Structure 1
């Protein structure tokens, strides 16, 4: 697996990954999430041009621009690097690809002087908050939410995402930690 910056040509594939990854939400009676439209090409392009969109693709040497199997987009929020979205195509699940993208982002965040990674997610979806807790994130209490995270949570509530329990999570970054470029 190779992690690389997203290209403009990748963006429709990122939307396809998002659609495919939504399907399992049907089994949790979360059809509104399963059927939600992926980020627009314009939104993805804004992350890409800012250098904040990464993909994981098969690394076979013969196709340097292999189609992505997963992606992550992020942005600075307060003193942290906020993971806006990390999505793995179901056919590539259980290969630690999402974790590799998160570790890559952690390395970038350390280099930029950020103190933590943050994200918001569904509390009870097994591949959401419980997964992030296993890789070092902790749930933040309401009093711990920074102004930026408060704005993100308020926007999510406006979108109706709070129909299901949601949480903000944080993982502290240590100086000099490993920076993963490939999935294990």
Structure 2
């Protein structure tokens, strides 16, 4: 078992992206992301109603990271600092062998391979640095973009839950 410690937040880089820690100045973009009808279409959450909601969300994320309950990245295009989406690992098992992945992207950036690039980097981080042997993801059965992303990153459909949620699982030994 590895002790997950994100005191020094792990900044991840790809060819086009920088995945960095969420900061207070991301509040406008977090509000845009969490209040957008297209982004929220398949998510079971109440949309953000104000910038204060976004600020509260950012504070909650910071507390969850300190408690080692999750690791949550802001997705930015390399060379800029403006948040365009988020990706996270959370719900770690007792022995850090399993976690769940979640992600969202502002509509203007969807369909450009950005989330594929970010997801591959986060999967590699989870396996190499946290020691995950499996990662789970849940998506609505009608969310074709998310289903495509999970299949493209070698997640296998495991089951269909109540409410049309599909569970996908990535295993590092596959």
Question: Residues 105 and 35 (structure 1 numbering): CA distance in 2 closer, same or farther, change over 3 Å?
Answer: closer
Counterparts of 1:23 and 1:34, CA distance in 2: 13
- 1:81–1:114: 8 Å Cα contact kept in structure 2? yes
Quick one: which of 15, 22, 40 aligns to 1:6?
A: 22
Quick one: which of 87, 91, 97 aligns to 2:108?
A: 91
Q: RCO greater where, 1 or 2, for CA within 8 Å and sep 6 or more? A: 1
Quick one: which of 72, 80, 90 aligns to 2:87?
A: 72
- 1:138–1:170: 8 Å Cα contact kept in structure 2? yes
Question: Residues 34 and 59 (structure 1 numbering): CA distance in 2 closer, same or farther, change over 3 Å?
Answer: same
Q: What's the counterpart of residue 52 of structure 1?
A: 71
Query: Normalized against structure 2, the TM-score is what?
Result: 0.67
Q: What's the counterpart of residue 51 of structure 2?
A: none
Q: What's the counterpart of residue 6 of structure 2?
A: none
- 2:39–2:106: 8 Å Cα contact kept in structure 1? no
Which residues of structure 1 form unaligned runs of 5+? 143-152, 176-184
Counterparts of 2:148 and 2:154, CA distance in 1: 10
Counterparts of 2:166 and 2:74, CA distance in 1: 25
Give the RMSD, CA atoms, in angstroms: 3.0
Query: Normalized against structure 1, the TM-score is what?
Result: 0.64
Q: Secondary structure at the match of 2:145?
A: coil
Quick one: which of 28, 39, 43 aligns to 2:60?
A: 43
Q: What's the counterpart of residue 152 of structure 2?
A: 134
Counterparts of 1:24 and 1:13, CA distance in 2: 13
Alpha-carbon distance, 1:115 to partner: 0.3
Question: Residues 104 and 8 (structure 1 numbering): CA distance in 2 closer, same or farther, change over 3 Å?
Answer: farther
Counterparts of 2:158 and 2:45, CA distance in 1: 28
Question: Residues 24 and 82 (structure 1 numbering): CA distance in 2 closer, same or farther, change over 3 Å?
Answer: closer
Q: Secondary structure at the match of 2:117?
A: helix
More helix by share: 1
Q: Secondary structure at the match of 1:117?
A: strand
Q: Secondary structure at the match of 2:25?
A: helix
Residues 119-153 of structure 1: per-residue CA shift (max 9 Å, x gap)? 111122211223312321111137xxxxxxxxxx7
More strand by share: 2
In the alignment, structure 1 residue 167 sits paired with structure 2 residue 147: no
Q: Secondary structure at the match of 1:52?
A: strand
Question: How many residue pairs align between the two structures?
Answer: 145
